[in-house]
């Protein structure tokens, strides 16, 4: 769908006379550029600086990301109308050496059309209302021509980012082309993490569930099959080890990013990584369902068999009943790596690697004992999604609504406290000093409010049937309008 240019008026402007600077605050971060009209008494050169943050009252144009957002513009004598040609991520602008006050200044947001009325949410929690608006605006502002990790620096499409982004978008808008196009692109532009190849299969299945259109499944079925690691590479009762890094055209097992957010994961010791193998299991389940849709019965049965075997091995080799948790992995000698990260059990819960209510409750209990998120903004999606799907909505809501804003806090409240208006790349600069303030992989609350608190999920492709499963947590009241391909679903309690 086309990307358009939208004029954005400044929230506030003013002269910093002691500095000789004209300051502009657009109120929210935008992705695009600015325009300027000015009557110059003579030719002049001005300096224009853009930034996501302020530093001592001035625009931080040498950004944490390494970008230097400074330009020199040349004015002619008389009326000038100028616009920058690049695409930047910024909220604040300052102009230096202006020969006169601007006649007009505006922002230009580059994004796709967005219908604000397609979705809404309100609750008894002021913080949750702010988080919803925050993540909804994130989707709106970052809808360009492809889901990317951020327009500030890398501008690359990644499968892990895209899964979170698409589910956030499905929660707040009824437009599906951008998610579909990103899925098609990634199916032929695979990225480096081992888990991300598998996530392409999850993306394709969610696309089908939400749209009811199987054309992606049909056109890219062979590509999706190729995302799975060959069965012969599984050399420990169906588990995949580090050998896939040499054989499987992937660079590394990610677990989480940045590496400082892995909760002490026994990454080096784990020859057979729990998170990776849980994701293999979920990908096998999704691909078996895709095969069923396409009437490929033999493929479906083969995937089901592999999934059943892998699940049994994960539980028998990596689950510790006395802890109610999964080890991070198996060592080369096939003994457990004796560490229980939040990630190992959270991904197991998300992927459905458990048998019966007793084991489900044990995993939830282990995660509750953690008391807080110990994962990145990326990993937090899997934690919340798994908790809500397993019926642990009270604890999931507790994590969503944590109010800690101290330096280093892993909360959406902290993001807001830092002045972010698009979700950030990391929880805070302490965890990732070069983080951006324009990274939609941090937008998990958008999907978790709709899919989690209200439990609105398709049970049949295209919402032929759907569920509503309210897990209110501490909320006294809430209402939501969630868009679907068949029209809005409105729920309140």
274-290, pLDDT tens digit by residue? 999 999 999 999 999 99
Residue ending a domain, among 111, 139, 162, is 111
Round to whole Å and give the CA distance between 72 and 351. Answer: 51
Count of domains observed in the chain: 2
Mean pLDDT, rounded, for 365-388: 98
Same domain for 101 and 161? no
Same domain for 271 and 325? yes
Same domain for 105 and 123? no
pLDDT tops 90 at residue 35: yes
pLDDT tops 80 at residue 247: no
Q: Is residue 150 a contact partner of residue 438, using CB atoms and an 8 Å limit?
A: yes
450-485, pLDDT tens digit by residue? 999 999 999 999 999 999 999 999 999 999 999 999
Q: Is residue 330 a contact partner of residue 273, using CB atoms and an 8 Å limit?
A: no
Same domain for 218 and 361? yes
pLDDT tops 90 at residue 335: yes
pLDDT band for 203, please (50, 70, 90 cuts): very high
pLDDT band for 248, please (50, 70, 90 cuts): low
Same domain for 140 and 99? no
Q: Is residue 8 a contact partner of residue 106, using CB atoms and an 8 Å limit?
A: yes
Same domain for 124 and 102? no
pLDDT band for 122, please (50, 70, 90 cuts): very high
For residue 99, give its domain range: 4-111
The pLDDT of residue 1: 66
Q: Which residues does 290 contact at the CB level (< 8 Å), separation at least 6? A: 201, 204, 205, 208, 217, 221, 224
- Percent of the chain whose predicted confidence (pLDDT) is above 90: 93
Strand partners, 109: 6, 32
Same domain for 183 and 88? no
Same domain for 152 and 8? no
Report residue 305 as tokens: 């068999």
pLDDT tops 80 at residue 19: no
Round to whole Å and give the CA distance between 117 and 447. Answer: 17
Q: CATH code at 248?
A: 1.50.10.10
41-45, 85-89, 436-440: range with lowest mean pLDDT: 85-89
Same domain for 181 and 136? yes
38-66, pLDDT tens digit by residue? 999 999 999 999 999 999 999 999 999 99
Residue ending a domain, among 55, 88, 111, is 111
Round to whole Å and give the CA distance between 89 and 150. Answer: 9
pLDDT band for 172, please (50, 70, 90 cuts): very high
- Percent of the chain whose predicted confidence (pLDDT) is above 70: 99
pLDDT band for 430, please (50, 70, 90 cuts): confident
Same domain for 95 and 211? no
Higher pLDDT, 86 or 296: 296
Same domain for 271 and 341? yes
Q: Is residue 31 a contact partner of residue 109, using CB atoms and an 8 Å limit?
A: yes
Residue ending a domain, among 73, 88, 111, is 111
The pLDDT of residue 134: 99
Q: Is residue 277 a contact partner of residue 195, using CB atoms and an 8 Å limit?
A: no
SS3 79: strand
Same domain for 377 and 325? yes
The pLDDT of residue 9: 98
């Amino acid at each position: 769908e086309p990307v358009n240019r939208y004029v954005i008026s400044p929230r506030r402007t003013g002269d910093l006379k002691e500095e000789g600077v004209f300051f502009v605050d657009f109120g929210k971060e935008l992705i695009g550029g600015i325009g300027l009209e000015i009557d110059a008494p003579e030719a002049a050169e001005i300096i224009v600086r853009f930034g996501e943050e302020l530093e001592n009252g001035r625009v931080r144009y040498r950004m944490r990301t390494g970008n230097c957002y400074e330009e020199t513009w040349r004015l002619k004598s008389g009326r000038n109308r100028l616009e920058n040609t690049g695409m930047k991520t910024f909220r604040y602008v300052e102009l230096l050496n202006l020969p006169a006050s601007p006649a007009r200044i505006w922002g230009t947001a580059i994004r796709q059309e967005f219908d604000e009325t397609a979705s809404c949410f309100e609750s008894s929690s002021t913080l949750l209302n702010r988080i919803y608006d925050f993540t909804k605006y994130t989707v709106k502002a970052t809808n360009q021509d492809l889901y990317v990790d951020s327009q500030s620096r890398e501008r690359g499409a990644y499968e892990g980012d895209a899964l979170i982004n698409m589910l956030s978008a499905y929660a707040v808008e009824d437009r599906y082309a951008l998610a579909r196009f990103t899925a098609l692109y990634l199916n032929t532009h695979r990225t480096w993490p081992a888990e991300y190849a598998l996530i392409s299969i999850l993306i394709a299945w969610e696309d089908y569930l939400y749209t009811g259109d199987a054309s992606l499944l049909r056109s890219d079925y062979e590509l999706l099959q190729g995302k799975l690691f060959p069965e012969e590479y599984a050399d420990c009762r169906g588990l995949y080890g580090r050998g896939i890094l040499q054989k499987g055209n992937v660079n590394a097992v990610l677990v989480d990013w940045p590496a400082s957010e892995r909760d002490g994961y026994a990454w080096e010791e784990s020859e057979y990584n729990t998170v990776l193998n849980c994701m293999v299991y979920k990908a096998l389940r999704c691909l078996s369902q895709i095969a069923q849709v396409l009437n490929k019965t033999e493929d479906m049965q083969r995937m089901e068999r592999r999934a059943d075997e892998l699940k049994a091995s994960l539980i028998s080799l990596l689950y510790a009943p006395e802890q109610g948790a999964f080890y991070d992995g198996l060592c080369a000698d096939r003994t457990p790596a004796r560490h229980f990260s939040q990630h190992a059990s959270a991904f197991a819960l998300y992927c459905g690697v458990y048998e019966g209510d007793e084991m489900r409750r044990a995993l939830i209990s282990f995660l509750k004992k953690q008391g807080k998120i110990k994962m990145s903004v990326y990993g937090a999606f899997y934690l919340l999604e798994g908790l809500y799907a397993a019926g642990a909505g009270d604890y999931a809501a507790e994590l969503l609504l944590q109010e800690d804003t101290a330096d280093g806090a892993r909360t959406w409240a902290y993001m807001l406290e830092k002045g972010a208006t698009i979700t950030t790349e990391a929880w805070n600069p302490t965890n990732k000093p070069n983080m951006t303030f324009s990274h939609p992989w941090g937008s998990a609350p958008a999907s978790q409010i709709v899919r989690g608190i209200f439990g609105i999920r398709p049970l049949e492709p295209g919402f032929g049937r759907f569920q509503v499963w309210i897990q209110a947590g501490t909320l006294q009241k809430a209402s939501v309008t969630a868009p679907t391909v068949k029209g809005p679903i409105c729920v309140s309690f």
